[in-house]
Amino acid sequence: MELYNLKHPSQKVSFKEAVQLGLGKDRGLFFPTQIPVLDDMEGLLALPFVERSKKVLGAWLASELGQDAVDELVERAFNFELPLVAVDEQRACLELFHGPTLAFKDFGARFMAQCVNAFVGDTRLTILTATSGDTGAAVADAFYGLEKVNVVVLYPKGKISELQEKCSPL
């Protein structure tokens, strides 16, 4: 998968390089040079969330990482229940509060954590972040126990809820 820096389009990187860099030149965000076409939408929608995620992310990443590696990242990231609840015959709702910290941010944080841990190589990495909300708990939980990455989360004193404190593994 090739991505380019939105501020400097000539800067092109692989997915792995984008994860390792975080941001591009002048703090530019990376964006895919091509978006894959997903043909069998009916088939995808019939799959459980984790299996669907493997196929969708595989369309983006398998050429670079291999499908087995994509499957492993997905299985490690989304190892909690993800209920899809029918609203009526035409609509359903994916309940995004069933992750370990009860925040929708568990989805992105956990996939990011697995990618960072897989791509960091032989070095140990320390990530420092600051937050006043549920992002901190989601990030702390996502990286908790990973072999190659330490995370330090700074919270403003007295500015987070008791529930957020309890959900963080720190």
Mean of pLDDT values over 99-104 = 89
Tell me the CATH class for 80-169: alpha beta
Cβ count within 10 A of residue 137: 30
Bridge partners, residue 130, by sequence: 154
The DSSP symbol for 25 reads G
User: Rounded to two decimals, what is the model's pTM?
Assistant: 0.84
Average pLDDT on 91-114 reads 91
Question: Residue 28: which of 18, 37, 40 has the closest Cα?
Answer: 18
- Which pLDDT score, from 0 to 100, does residue 123 have? 87
CA–CA separation, 154 and 157 (whole Å): 9
Domain extent listing, the chain: 80-169
* Residue 7 vs residue 157, higher pLDDT: 7
Q: How confident is the model at residue 165 (pLDDT cuts 50, 70, 90)?
A: low
pLDDT above 90: residue 121: no
CA dihedral 67, 33, 127, 114 (to 10 degrees): -10
Residue with token string 């299996």:
51
In the chain, % of residues over pLDDT 70: 94
Render pLDDT for 59-101 as a digit per residue (tens, 0 to 9): 999 999 999 999 999 999 999 888 888 999 999 898 988 888 8
